[in-house]
Structure 1
Amino acid sequence: MEPVVFVAVLAAASMHAGWNALVKVGLDRYSSILLLSLSGAGICLVLLPFFPFPAPAALPWLLTSALIHACYKLTLIKAYEHGDLSQVYPLARGTAPLIVALVGALFLGEVTTLTKVLAILSIGLGVCLMSLKGGVVGRMPPKAFGFALATAACTASYTLIDGIGARLSGSASGFIILLTIADGLFTCAYALATRGPMAFMRLTPAWRSGLTAGGMSLASYWIAVWAFTKAPIALVAALRETSVLFAMLIAILFLKERAGPSRIFAACMIACGVVLMRV
């Protein structure tokens, strides 16, 4: 992985943790996610004329990914309803790079070196370990655990699909812009069907913060999709999950959640993985 890609993905990780924290502290997490989707889609509608349209071969991958992204947001909301940020976020993200690495090696021919495999394992296992103990509610509630695993499955799925789709598209930027618009349409359709027009009327007072979170989310994943075309998907996916370090800092400093020795050890494992990835 080239240095510029490496640094860009780390920057994307910090932004990803940031918008997740905004969702966690929102009074209505469902509305926060809906506003985030609307903001991202609105930004992309403005940018759409300035970027090339993805190749037709990428469109089935794009539409499938948009559906999975919408499911990911719904399971993430449910997980946050039952668990704290510093528990849910690591588990929801940590298992995904391990799945991506396995599928990438078996089906995409992304055979990597032993050092890179150790880096992926160190980051993935460190992220998972961070969710096992501590937090405001102590042991992780079963419902939070289940929804976090469902979120992880969605994460692994859309990561692989987007990596393939972006490579087929001929334009990573065109792919992510159209993907964000489609994701926004699916999310809005679900909101309208389940909560009616009132779901959108509740968003007006918070449009400024929603626009900020939507911009952070879009920029974070835009970088990731671009990186999928420059480096092995598994390496990008693993490095992106260093966002849990930023999430842990946010949880400790601003949300007043606890971090015991196990999470500090997990943070060291993740840091070792990052170092190994640059060896």
Structure 2
Amino acid sequence: MTPLVLSLVAAGALAHAAWNVTIKRAGTSGPGFLWLTFVLGAVVFAPFGVVSLVSTGVDLSRWAGFALGSGALQVGYFLLLQRGYRAGDVSVVYPLARGTGPLLSVALAVLLLGERPGWPVLLGAVVIVTGVVVIGLAAGRSTGGDRRAGVLYGLGIGVVIAVYTLWDATAVTTGELPVVGLYWGSLLVQVALLAPWALRDRQLVATALAHRVAIPVVGVLAPLAYILVLLAVQLASVSVVAPAREVSVVLVGLAGWLWFREPHPVQRLVGASIVLLGVGVLTVG
């Protein structure tokens, strides 16, 4: 992993952790809130997206196809994640989703993209996923959750993470689409697809508008975090970037302990150490 790729992944992890912590601190979620962040993101990144598309002269029909698939997968991810959190324990859904997602991404990159990662990369990926699961299992259980439902949702969400990672990686590598242009198109699709759920109860949207700090933070940092990851994918293989980006889980886990006084600090620190060890192995590999 080159210093530039490492910097992009690290910056993306910081942005990803920041918007996740912001949502937790605000204590809000739901289609109304998410839709408002998508709208803001689409507006903020519009100038950059349009300029990147015009300057590169991409085939707009090809761009539209990739953007439609990307946006649909992202909306599916958010809706499935929320259903998973309602049906099962967060302590089951979260680690399974964040652990299986990058592991499947590596497997699919080998099978579908023809990547041939060396043993250091594969070892680093496994170590990182192990650390992510250790951190995730440090979360307290919610009450009344169905463990089997949590397992099924966690695995399903992990599959969606792997699929959208491979889809977007293909778009910006083989498809040669500009990263910002692709994800701006994805945001437009997300706005359109989530609108029926968000606007079904306009009172929920009005309530979400009260989060005047959380909406701009999430609306800007969530797309920025993913854009940085896709820029890294253009310079390194999915097998390296997909596991390495999970360092954001370390930051969120530590913030949960230090900021929100969540339990099991020793387990969080052990998991963080394992993830960082895995990133170190990737860097060497």
SS where residue 183 of structure 1 aligns?
A: helix
Q: Deviations for 1:26-83, whole angstroms, at most 9, x for unmatched residues? A: 3431033233222212212343432225434343232112111001112223344467
**2:38 matched residue in structure 1:** 37
Stretches of structure 2 that go unaligned for 5 or more consecutive residues are none
- Partners of 2:89 and 2:146 within 8 A in 1: no
Find the aligned partners of 1:75 and 1:130 in 2 and give their Cα distance.
21
Find the aligned partners of 1:144 and 1:206 in 2 and give their Cα distance.
29
Length-normalised TM-score, structure 1: 0.88
Find the aligned partners of 1:153 and 1:209 in 2 and give their Cα distance.
28
C-alpha deviation, 1:136, in angstroms: 5.6
**1:182 matched residue in structure 2:** 189
- Partners of 1:87 and 1:130 within 8 A in 2: no
SS where residue 28 of structure 1 aligns?
A: coil
More off after superposition, 51-60 vs 206-215: 51-60
Structure 1 pair 138/126, CA: closer, same or farther in 2 (3 Å)?
A: farther
Does residue 28 of the first structure (1) align with residue 28 of the second (2)? yes
**2:166 matched residue in structure 1:** 160
C-alpha deviation, 1:133, in angstroms: 4.5
One-letter code aligned to 1:247: V
Find the aligned partners of 2:88 and 2:260 in 1 and give their Cα distance.
13
Find the aligned partners of 1:3 and 1:20 in 2 and give their Cα distance.
26
Find the aligned partners of 2:89 and 2:222 in 1 and give their Cα distance.
20
More off after superposition, 262-271 vs 152-161: 262-271
C-alpha deviation, 1:139, in angstroms: 11
**2:206 matched residue in structure 1:** 201
Task: Please give the root-mean-square deviation of Cα atoms over the aligned residues, in Å.
Answer: 2.5
- Partners of 1:95 and 1:128 within 8 A in 2: no
For 1:242, which of 227, 242, 247 is the aligned residue? 247
Find the aligned partners of 1:28 and 1:267 in 2 and give their Cα distance.
26
Q: Deviations for 1:213-240, whole angstroms, at most 9, x for unmatched residues? A: 1111011011011112111012111111
**Aligned length in residues:** 277
Q: Deviations for 1:244-275, whole angstroms, at most 9, x for unmatched residues? A: 10011111112221125443332222111110
What percent identity do the matched residue pairs reach? 26
Structure 1 pair 134/20, CA: closer, same or farther in 2 (3 Å)?
A: closer
- Partners of 2:8 and 2:231 within 8 A in 1: no
- Partners of 1:129 and 1:266 within 8 A in 2: yes
Structure 1 pair 15/109, CA: closer, same or farther in 2 (3 Å)?
A: same
Stretches of structure 1 that go unaligned for 5 or more consecutive residues are none
C-alpha deviation, 1:197, in angstroms: 3.2
**2:268 matched residue in structure 1:** 263
SS where residue 91 of structure 1 aligns?
A: helix
For 2:236, which of 231, 235, 238 is the aligned residue? 231
Structure 1 pair 260/170, CA: closer, same or farther in 2 (3 Å)?
A: closer
C-alpha deviation, 1:2, in angstroms: 1.9
Find the aligned partners of 1:245 and 1:139 in 2 and give their Cα distance.
27
**1:9 matched residue in structure 2:** 9
- Partners of 2:2 and 2:283 within 8 A in 1: no
